[in-house]
């Protein structure tokens, strides 16, 4: 990945600003410590008619994978944190429309790696909720409430097991 | 416009590849010599929520104008030939998805400036029809046929005026 030129990063920033998406999903998943998986994504969309060219672009940046949707759109999705960080840091100087989302993504990845307590985890989710405003999301419902409700529920079960709560 | 950096051009190429459009319209218009106006466009689309940022980008390149559509999309349209040529030539080295369209646009502008006869004009329209394939246009009907029909119609009228055709 060391051969990527500044002009390639500027190109990718234009592509991302025009037609890309930067977001983090908070998915309920009991195999994770706090009952939720935090799943960051950087996605580029194009007509599947341009799939070959998208493969070429993806090869330059050696990140993520392409997925052809049934509706004629091909998505180039970058989901691993190392690649996301790499793309955010390098497109950052050139981004004009999605600079705030890129900065927020880096902040979330930093905070996520430092989580030690439930409170830390809720703090990360609180930051993630900021994407919904930046991305003009139609689903503006905050994930924080969902996470807090689940954490409270889990705590109740734990206390019940220890007979610390009235039945 | 001399302060534009190579990185700005690379950015614009990414933007154009992801979400822009390069095309030429052939509009019936009797005030033009051959009965048709040739109208080239380079257009960038974004949600009107990003209008301010689009104004900033447009200012860098000092070309075209912004138009807020009623459906929530803002179009940055470049229609004057000098600006189109400037943008095509400078984004060309960085384009990956729309390089053919950019080259075709430059060819059409060259040919258009050299039109001396009806045949030359039809030749330009023939090149313009190539955009429909490159742009996966749903309206694939060729303009050449339309132009030929009109030229023939005009010729008939001329001949009739000179009483050279049977009524």
Enumerate residues 70 to 109 of chain A having a beta carbon within 8 A of any beta carbon in chain B: 94, 96-97
Q: Please give the pLDDT value at position B58.
A: 94
Residue recorded with tokens 């950019």: B102
Q: Is residue B155 less than 8 Å (CB to CB) from chain A?
A: no
**What pLDDT digit, counting tens, does each position of A75-92 carry?**
999 999 999 999 999 999
Percent of chain B exceeding pLDDT 70 equals 96
Q: Give the mean model confidence (pLDDT) for residues B102-127.
A: 95
With beta carbons under 8 A apart, name residues in chain A contacting B13.
Answer: 11, 14
Q: Quick one: closest CA in B to A49, which residue?
A: B136
Greater pLDDT, A164 or B135: B135
Q: Please give the pLDDT value at position B123.
A: 94
Enumerate residues 131 to 150 of chain B having a beta carbon within 8 A of any beta carbon in chain A: 136
ipTM associated with this complex:
0.88
Which of A19, A53, A97 is opposite residue B53, by nearest beta carbon? Answer: A97
> Domains along chain A?
6-161 (3.10.28.10)
Q: How confident is the model at residue B135 (pLDDT cuts 50, 70, 90)?
A: confident
- Provide the 10 A C-beta neighbour count for residue B57: 21
Instruction: Using the predicted structure, report yes or no on whether residue B155 has a pLDDT greater than 80.
Output: no
* HSE-up of residue B64 (Cα within 13 Å, Cβ side): 27
**What pLDDT digit, counting tens, does each position of A61-73 carry?**
999 999 999 999 9
Q: Give the mean model confidence (pLDDT) for residues B20-48.
A: 94
Q: What is the mean pLDDT of chain A?
A: 91
Among residues B115, B139, B136, B135, which one has the least CA distance to residue B125?
Answer: B115
**What pLDDT digit, counting tens, does each position of B10-19 carry?**
999 999 999 9
Q: How confident is the model at residue B140 (pLDDT cuts 50, 70, 90)?
A: low
What's the rounded Cα separation, in Å, for the pair A45 and B42? 20
Q: How confident is the model at residue A137 (pLDDT cuts 50, 70, 90)?
A: confident
Instruction: Using the predicted structure, report yes or no on whether residue A155 has a pLDDT greater than 80.
Output: no
Instruction: Using the predicted structure, report yes or no on whether residue B136 has a pLDDT greater than 90.
Output: no
**What pLDDT digit, counting tens, does each position of A25-41 carry?**
999 998 998 999 999 99
Residue recorded with tokens 């430092």: A114
Which of B44, B49, B94 is opposite residue A11, by nearest beta carbon? Answer: B94
Q: Is residue A12 less than 8 Å (CB to CB) from chain B?
A: yes
Question: How would you write chain B as a 3-class SS string?
Answer: CCCCCHHHHHHHHHHHHHHEEEEEEEEECCCCCCCEEEEEEEEEEEEHHHHHHHHHHHHHHCCCEEEECCCCEEEEEECCHHHHHHHHHHHHHHCCCCHHHHHHHHHHHHHHHCCCCHHHHHHHHHHHHHHHHHCCCCCCCCHHHHHHHHHHHHHHHHHHHCCCCCC
Q: What is the mean pLDDT of chain B?
A: 91
Q: Please give the pLDDT value at position A140.
A: 66
Q: Give the mean model confidence (pLDDT) for residues B131-139.
A: 82
Among residues A42, A123, A125, which one has the least CA distance to residue A88?
Answer: A42
Instruction: Using the predicted structure, report yes or no on whether residue B32 has a pLDDT greater than 60.
Output: yes
pTM attached to this predicted model: 0.89
What's the rounded Cα separation, in Å, for the pair A44 and A67? 11
What's the rounded Cα separation, in Å, for the pair B56 and B158? 52
Q: Please give the pLDDT value at position A71.
A: 95
Sign of CA dihedral A50, A55, A61, A65: positive
Q: Please give the pLDDT value at position B66.
A: 96
b/e map A104-121, b = 16+ CB within 10 Å: bbeebbebbeebeeeeeb
Based on its alpha-carbon atoms, the radius of gyration of chain A, rounded to whole angstroms, reads 19
What's the rounded Cα separation, in Å, for the pair B73 and B77? 12
Q: Please give the pLDDT value at position A166.
A: 59
């Amino acid at each position: 990945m060391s051969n990527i030129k500044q002009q390639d990063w500027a190109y990718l920033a234009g592509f991302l600003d025009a037609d890309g998406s930067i977001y983090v999903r908070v998915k309920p998943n009991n195999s994770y410590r706090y009952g939720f998986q935090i799943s960051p994504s950087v996605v580029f969309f194009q007509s599947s008619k341009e799939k070959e060219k998208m493969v070429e672009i993806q090869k330059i940046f050696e990140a993520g994978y392409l997925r052809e949707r049934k509706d004629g759109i091909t998505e180039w999705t970058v989901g691993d944190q190392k690649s996301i960080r790499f793309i955010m840091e390098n497109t950052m100087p050139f981004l004009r429309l999605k600079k705030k989302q890129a900065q927020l993504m880096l902040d979330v990845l930093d905070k996520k790696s430092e989580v030690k307590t439930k409170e830390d985890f809720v703090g990360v989710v609180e930051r993630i909720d900021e994407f919904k405003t930046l991305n003009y999301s139609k689903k503006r419902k905050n994930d924080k409430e969902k996470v807090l409700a689940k954490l409270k529920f889990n705590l109740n079960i734990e206390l019940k097991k220890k007979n610390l709560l009235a039945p």
